[in-house]
Amino acid sequence: MKYRSRAPFRIGLAGGGTDVSPYSDEFGGAILNASIDLFAYTTIIPRTDGKIIIRSIDQNKVLEYNSTTELPIDGTLDLQKGVYNRIVKEFVKDSLSFEMITSMDVASGSGLGTSSTLVVSILGAFVEWFKLPLGEYDIAQLAYDIERIDLKMAGGKQDQYAATFGGINFMEFYAGNKVIVNPLRIRAELKDELQFNLILYYTQTSRQSAKIIETQAELAKEKQKKPVEATHIVKKQAYLMKEALLRNELSKIGDILKISWENKKKMATGITTALIDEIYQTAIENGATGGKISGAGGGGFMIFYCDNDSRYKVIDALKKYGGQAKRYRFNDEGLTTWTVL
């Protein structure tokens, strides 16, 4: 038997960073994101030889252990090991023997929620194996707990929920781990137009989002006026983005992205770089009406909104930076699991 799962990555359209504690605990966060047809995959194959083998296709790493109830968290494939440790501790209560294979359609640190999506995918394979009675909110919260509590990785909450639920969602975050996922019912033709106008551009750089998020969280904790006020404005854009999509007012999206980006850069240091600023300016000069980094910042994917068929000119102008306009489609499915007999 083989147990497989896949979880979709997401594009952050508005409100990014407002899901990070302590800001979300005190003021409440709001984010609008959309899952796309790029995925994190996990396969688990039970074994009978008392071995645990973990293979990461992306990192080209293989770890092998004797079966145990707790694998060492030592900086190598910790996401895979962290999920196993929590599954054993909370559900199985005994050591297991298996081979785990993970792979991703995009690079780590690319701003599409890679680590959290991978955790959701790994959890999904274990849920499929043991038929665990966990709903979508349960899986997303468990993924968050593994990353943020067990592994002590800084970050927000949107990625786990986006990967689990899928679709285009307006999400609200409050103190006490209260999260509300509001799926948006958007007409197919509107979704197609949004997808056509929205360029997903990979800068061919990656970053460690944890450091940026740690700085952002510290500034919020210290209640520094300018970063907190900027975060308020970023949150407001999530509400405006929701209204624009529901009212078929796509022409407003460029300005929403532009305001989001201007204020995102005020939330913490390291969010932008000279290269990112130059790429952004080039896109604007060639017809994009707005854009932003997808994710915490510092590198990875950027998104640009292009009205009036300017997407072609923008894509051509960005070629000189060595990046790639990534083909994608919106994906309505969240975490998917299945068994291979």
User: Catalytic residues, which ones?
Assistant: 159
Tokens of residue 155, six digits: 């970050």
Decide: residue 242, CB within 10 A, 0-12 exposed, 13-18 middle, 19+ buried: buried
**3-state SS string for the chain:** CEEEEEEEEEEEEECCCCCCCCHHHHHCEEEEEEEEEEEEEEEEEECCCCEEEEEECCCCEEEEEECCCCCCCCCCCHHHHHHHHHHHHHHHCCCCCEEEEEEECCCCCCCCCHHHHHHHHHHHHHHHHHCCCCCHHHHHHHHHHHHHHHCCCCCCCHHHHHHHHCCEEEEEEECCCEEEEEECCCCHHHHHHHHHHEEEEECCCCCCHHHHHHHHHHHHHCCCHHHHHHHHHHHHHHHHHHHHHHCCCHHHHHHHHHHHHHHHCCCCCCCCCHHHHHHHHHHHHCCCCEEEECCCCCCCEEEEECCCCCHHHHHHHHHHHCCEECCCCECCCCCEEEEEC
